Amino acid sequence: MNDKTMLRTGLIGSAIAMLCCLTPLLVVVVAGVGLSAIIGWLDYALFPLFFASLGITAQALWLRAGQPGSNPRRWIMVSVVGLSALLFLLQFHYAFRLSIGAILSVAFYGFWLSRSGTPRGSDRSKT
C-alpha cells in the first residue's frame, strides 16, 4: 500500500469512526436492522478503531515525509493500545478529550515531519 492510499484510508477511517461515535447515526442504523442489543458495546469497538485509523494516518505521514528517522510503527501500536486501554480504564469519562488529544498529536506529528523530514522524491543516499 503506498503512502497516498494509506493516508486516505486512515483519514476516512478516522472520520467514519468519529462520525459514528459523536452522532446517533450508527445507533439508528443498528437499531433499524434489529441489533439494538449491541448499542451499549459500540464504543468499545469504535474508539479503538478511531485510534487505529489515526495510527495508520501517522504511519502514512511518516512514509510521505521520506521516512526520516526510525520507523514509528512500534510507538504507534503502543499508543493505540495505550489510549484504548486508558479509555476503558477511565470508563469513557474523558473520551472526547483523549480523542482531541490524539487528533492534535497526529496533526503535530505531521507538521513536525513536514518541517524536519527529507523532501519527497529526494535521494537520501547523496548526503
pLDDT tens for 17-60 read 999 888 888 888 888 998 888 888 888 999 999 999 999 999 99
C-alpha 24/C-alpha 11 separation (Å) is 20
Q: How many residues does the chain have?
A: 127
What percent of the chain lies above the pLDDT cut of 70? 91
What is the residue extent of each domain of the chain?
A: 3-118
Rounded alpha-carbon distances, angstroms, from residue 106 to 1, 14, 109: 20, 12, 5
Average pLDDT value for residue range 3-20: 93
Rounded alpha-carbon distances, angstroms, from residue 103 to 54, 106, 107, 110: 7, 5, 6, 11
